[in-house]
Amino acid sequence: MQVLILEALLLLFLIFITVCILISKDILACTIIYSAFSFCAVLTYFMFGSPDVAFTEAVIGTMSTIFFIAALKKVDRWCK
Amino acid sequence: MGNNKMKKPFGGIVLDSSFRIIIPFTLVYGIYILTHGEYSPGGGFQAGALLAVGIVLVRLIQGADKESFNITGAKAIVCAGVGTFIYAATGWLTLAGGGKFLDYTFLPVPMHHWGELHALGILMIEIGVTVCVMMTIIDIMDAIIERLDADEDEEVDDCER
């Protein structure tokens, strides 16, 4: 039962983070919140019993955050 | 210009101290993930991504001028090809041993138990995958940074005109 509640909380948190990314106007903030999304996805995968996918997501989440921030130097930070 | 101010200082006491701890740990952990991937979560792709994170972190901390693991884009492309070649060469070795493509039981090495042969063959193709993934990620990073620098130079030229 406690595990179910934790899973539900994690999934709700994932939806909440996604909505935050959608309504945010600052692309740098979007990138940082996306890394939080990646972390919650890691916890979710781990809870659903696939540590392999969780490990991949952890590494690739770090990687893609670095890439996005590096690419952000060229893009305008505020979207209108 | 704000960009030049941000561009100049790499390093610092906190970054250099954490560099000495984090980078060796990341690289050794990547090798562990690669070799121990048979019994625990992990494998070629994860190990390659982890090693690439280590190299990219070196680049982020020390800058392109005095980085310790100096792997540029051209070298990375060549090494990615070498990784793919290792994968294919394992298959060709099994063909030379008289079996089908990637049929590890026919690897031409003096081991007779099929379990050992399977472990050896999987380790070989995972080394290939690791090298390919690691070098591809490093090359993507290099491409992004190089393109940004090139664009910046063009902008400076435009301003001077």
Q: Is B155 helix (H, G, I), strand (E, B) or coil?
A: helix
Q: Each residue of B7-44: pLDDT tens digit?
A: 556 778 888 899 899 999 999 999 999 998 888 888 88
Does B49 sit within 8 Å of A73, measured CB to CB?
Answer: no
Angstroms from B56 CA to nearest CA on chain A: 9
What is the number of other CB atoms lying within 10 angstroms of the CB of residue B136?
A: 19
Domain ranges of chain A: 2-72
Does A66 sit within 8 Å of B141, measured CB to CB?
Answer: yes
Q: Each residue of A32-63: pLDDT tens digit?
A: 999 999 999 999 999 998 999 999 999 999 89
Nearest CA in chain A to B137: A63
* B42 vs A: CB within 8 A: yes
Reading the block at residue A52, the tokens are 């392999």
ipTM comes to 0.82
On the question of pLDDT at A76 being above 50, the answer is yes
Minimal Cβ distance to B53: which of A56, A62, A71: A62
Does A51 sit within 8 Å of B46, measured CB to CB?
Answer: no
Does B53 sit within 8 Å of A59, measured CB to CB?
Answer: yes
The neighbouring-strand residues paired with A26 are A78
3-state helix, strand, coil in chain B (%, to 5): 75, 0, 25
Does B144 sit within 8 Å of A59, measured CB to CB?
Answer: no
Name which of B108, B129, B131, B105 is nearest B119 in CA terms: B105
Q: Each residue of A2-25: pLDDT tens digit?
A: 889 999 999 999 999 999 999 998
- Confidence class for position B157, pLDDT limits 50, 70, 90: low
Minimal Cβ distance to A70: which of B42, B145, B151: B145
Minimal Cβ distance to A73: which of B43, B140, B148: B148
Angstroms from A68 CA to nearest CA on chain B: 10
